[in-house]
Amino acid sequence: MAVAEPTPEANTASTALPEVTAPFFAWLLSQPKTEEPAAADSPSVSSDTALDEPSRSVLAKLDEVIESDPQRSALLPRAPQVLPQLMRSLRDDHYVAVEVAARIGKDAVLAAEVIRAANGSHRSRREPIVDLSQAVLSIGADHLRRVIARSVLRPIFDVRGAKLSALAAPQIWINAEFKARLCSALAAADGQDPLDGYLAGMLHDSGWTALLRALDALGPQQVPSLSKLVTPALSQALAERRNRLFCKLMRPWQLSMPLVAMADDIETSGLAAVRTPLAVALQRAHALASLHALACDGRLPSGMDGPLMSLPPSVQACYLAVTRAG
C-alpha cells in the first residue's frame, strides 16, 4: 500500500517534545519518579544498548509471542462482533436511529451506557430519556460514536488479576480515554474521520495491556524487577514492542482502511517516523497524552511550556481544547 507524502507539519510532535517513555512507564506501573527525560534535541535511548542478558532474554521471549498468532491472540479478548457493524452504520451521517438502536439493544450494557450519556447531555430535561431510539437521536452522531467505542472496547482493558497488568490497568484506561479524545480532535483538524482518530487513540494503549499480560505469563522468575523495567533502555525496548503488538492485534479487526494503513505504517517505520495522516495524528496524541499524564501526577519536568508552544497552532489548539474539557 502506498504511503502518503508527509504534510509540512508531519512528525513535528516527535521532534519538538522530549522523550518521556521511561517516566511515563514508571507512572503506568505506579513506580517512583525516574530520572529527568531527555531534552527535545537529544537522541532517544536505543533499545539495543545498555541491556543486560536477562533483559535481552525477556525481550526475545516477547518477540516470540508477538510473532505467534495463537500466543498473540490470547493476550486480548476478541473484538466484539457488534463493533464493526455499529461503526459502519455510524459512519453514515444519515443512519436510521431505529436501526442503530436495534443493534445497540442487543447489548444491555451498551444500551444502558447510551441512555446514561443521553441523559447526561440533557440535564435540563424534566423527563429522563428512557427510550433507546430517542437516546440515539438526541445524543448526536459524534458523541454516540465515542460512547459506543468506549463502552464496547472497555472490556479489552479489564484486569485479569496478574501482577503487572493489574497494577497498570487503571492508568492505562485513563490514558487511553484522554489519548482517544485528543487523537480524534487532531484527526478532525487534519480533515480526517474523527472516529478513526478516536479508535486509534483508544486502541493504542491496548498494546500496553497485551504486553504486560505477556510479561505476566512469563512468570515472576523471568521478568525483571519493576525498577529495572522503568529504566530508559528497557522501557524504550518495551514501548517498541507495544507498538508492534498494537498493530498486529488491531489489523485483523478491519475497522477501517485508514486504521489498517496506519498499522502498516507504524509496523514498517516505527511510531517516530510515520508518514500517513492518521499515524501522524496518533504519534502526536501519544506524545501529548504521555506528557499530560505526567503533568497530572506531578512528574512533568520544568520548562515544558517552550516545547508545547513550538508545536503547530492546530496541534496546540487541539491539546488545549481536550485538556480544558476535562
By the 8 A CB rule, do 51 and 234 touch? yes
Provide the number of structural domains found in the chain.
2
Residue 157 lies in a domain: no
Structural domain for 183, as ranges: 12-77+162-325
Residues 280 and 180 in one domain: yes
Domain boundary pick from 124, 148, 172: 148
Q: What are phi and psi of 7, to 5 degrees?
A: -75, 165
In this model, does residue 7 exceed pLDDT 50? Answer: no
Statement to judge: residues 234 and 177 lie in one domain: yes
| Residue 15 predicted with pLDDT over 50 | no
Task: For residues 139 and 119, give the distance between their C-alpha atoms in angstroms, rounded to a whole number.
Answer: 9
Residue 244 lies in a domain: yes
- 34 with 121, same domain: the answer is no
- Whether 261 maps to a domain, the answer reads yes
For the segment 254-279, what is each residue's pLDDT rounded down to a tens digit?
778 999 999 999 999 999 899 999 99
Same domain, 208 and 294: yes
Residue 110 lies inside a defined structural domain of this protein:
yes
The verdict on 16 and 114 lying in the same domain is no
Q: How far is CA 132 from CA 84, 105, 121, in A?
A: 20, 8, 14
Is 155 within a domain? no
Whether residue 120 sits in one domain with residue 105:
yes
Q: Which residue blocks in the chain are alpha helix, DSSP H?
A: 12-16, 21-28, 53-67, 69-73, 82-90, 97-104, 108-121, 132-139, 141-153, 163-189, 194-204, 206-218, 226-229, 232-250, 257-269, 277-296, 305-309, 313-325
- 231 and 314 in one domain? yes
Q: Which has the closest alpha carbon to 312: 179, 190, 194, 181?
A: 190
Same domain for 124 and 26, yes or no, is no
Task: Assess whether 73 and 88 both reside in one domain.
Answer: no
Q: What integer pLDDT is reported at residue 45 of this predicted model?
A: 46
**Do 190 and 140 belong to one domain?**
no
CB atoms within 10 A of CB 117: 22
239 and 121 belong to one structural domain: no
- 120, 252: one domain: no
Task: Give the separation between CA 275 and CA 29, rounded to whole angstroms.
Answer: 31
Res 6: pLDDT:
42
**What is the structure's pLDDT at 263?**
94
Taking the CA atoms of the chain, what radius of gyration do you get in angstroms?
20
pLDDT tens digits, 46-78? 545 568 888 899 999 999 999 998 898 888 776
For position 153, what pLDDT does the model report?
76
Q: Which domain-ending residue is among 92, 117, 148?
A: 148
Evaluate whether residue 4 is within a structural domain.
no
